[in-house]
Amino acid sequence: MDGERRAAAREAEAAARSSYGKLVAILASRTRDIAAAEDALADAFAAALAQWPRDGIPANPVGWLMTVARRSIGHAAGRRRTAEAAESVLRMLDDERDEARPDSFGDDRLALMFVCAHPAIEGEAQAPLMLQTVLGLDAERIAASFLVSGATMGQRLVRAKRKIRDAGIAFAIPDPGEAPARIGAVLSAIYAAYGTAWEDVTGADGKLRDLATEAIWLARLLRQLLPDDPEAMGLLSLMLHCQARSAARRSATGAFVPLDAQDMTLWSRSMIAEAEAHLRSAARKAAPGRFQTEAAIQSLHAQQRMTGQRFTEPLVRLYDALARFAPTTGVLVARAVAHAENGNPAAALAELDQIPDAARYQPFWAARARVSWLSGDEEAAWKSARTAAGLSNDPGVRAFPLAGGFRGRGR
């Protein structure tokens, strides 16, 4: 029985990873209540863990979960005894009989992302809400990505879901004239999802497994549905550039390998070529933005490694532009390093000192170690390196600064 329970748990986990967001989106599109959809899906997963070991894993696990979740919502609606709730249940049962609903955006998850990006939702809650409802990330992990406490993030998410329910925000794709105002938040959420997966380079966190692939899939879908949007092109280019190098980020022993030391034979040249094609298409639109700029930076980093040349001056210009588009903590830290690499470590240290609330941000201390080394202050470099190591739970990342990784190769 223990083996059957483990098998059932694995199947439920696989279904959650592959279809959580789509299931929430379908359920919420009928009830207009994201929290209720999540609760119903949680009930369905609990039922799966109880029943599948006893009755066997169904032929269509995702369909089974959808049916049980719909019935859970139906029972709750019945208890509320309102005509509006009953109408929602009838619509869901109609969907159950006919799953082949036309959808102009091709996937319910993307439609739900546009709902989460509605102007009525607080801007600071939009991307986190998408990450939780569409991709199933928990509030604590989302909070870490946005450098706020778990409690603060949890409150934001609850308020946002309540707003969608109480305001009766329609679960529909916005008209072409309205879509551009929401595109930025959708792009940011997809990128935040990819960045969360990128941090788990060893694949140790089962909840993040396949998240990078899922994020790229959503970016491809958005690229197809908005063929003239240069930022959609830029986001896909950026993620493909990063993903192309993913296999080279760790050594055979699990040690962290910086870009300038990576084995380029492990890079995906086809993925790099595709990334460059999307970046060129975006450039032809002559409407630069955040994600195009980030993609251009990644392209230039790759060119540095492949050619052996240093493009520090162009990188500084790109990072300065990026800081104007998106002055986030991560961007400001990276810009400071770019200035130091271009021969101005004193200015870089001053830039780092001006970044607010960065003391718990591990890359800040890794950057400070590098910049201090370039400025000739070895003692400060080692001090920052030790702080950086202490802020990471990843053994490979923790070992890198302690081994003097901030000194670079031959510099």
Amino acid (1-letter code) at residue 343: G
pTM of the model: 0.74
Higher pLDDT, 172 or 185: 185
Region 54-61: mean pLDDT is 84
pLDDT-derived band at 333 (thresholds 50, 70, 90) equals very high
Q: Which residues of 122-144 are buried (b: 16+ CB within 10 A; e: fewer)?
A: eeebbbbbbbbbbbbbebebbbe
- Segment 89-106 shows an average pLDDT of 44
Q: 145 pLDDT exceeds 80?
A: no
Cα–Cα dist 268/212, whole Å: 15
Three-state secondary structure string covering 180-248: HHHHHHHHHHHHHHHHHHHHCCCCCCHHHCCHHHHHHHHHHHHHHHCCCCHHHHHHHHHHHHHHHCHHH
Predicted local confidence at residue 122, as pLDDT: 86
Would you identify the CATH topology of the domain 106-169+183-193?
Arc Repressor Mutant, subunit A (1.10.10)
Taking residues 8-22, report their average pLDDT. Answer: 71
Q: Which CATH class is domain 310-411?
A: mainly alpha
| pLDDT for residue 184 is more than 50 | yes
- Taking the C-alpha atoms of residue 220 and residue 240, their distance in angstroms, rounded to an integer, is 10
Q: Which residue would you say has higher pLDDT here, 10 or 336?
A: 336
- Show the DSSP H helices in 286-361 as ranges: 290-307, 312-325, 329-341, 345-353
pLDDT attached to residue 206: 54
* Distance separating the N- and C-terminal Cα atoms of the chain: 59
pLDDT cut 70: percent of the chain above it: 84
pLDDT of residue 83: 44
pLDDT tens-digit readout, 99-109: 434 344 445 67
Residues 46, 127: Cα–Cα separation, whole Å? 28
What is the model's pLDDT at position 201? 59
Mean pLDDT, range 33-60, rounded to an integer: 85
DSSP 121: S
> Which single residue is written with the structure tokens 């008209």?
175
Provide the 8-state DSSP code for 258: -
pLDDT, mean of residues 176-193: 81
| Residue-range domain boundaries for the chain | 1-99, 106-169+183-193, 227-305, 310-411
Supply the pLDDT for residue 372. Answer: 97
More confident residue, 104 or 196: 196
Segment 316-337 shows an average pLDDT of 97
124-136 pLDDT per residue, tens: 888 888 878 877 7
Coil vs helix vs strand at 256: strand
Q: Is the pLDDT of residue 170 over 60?
A: yes
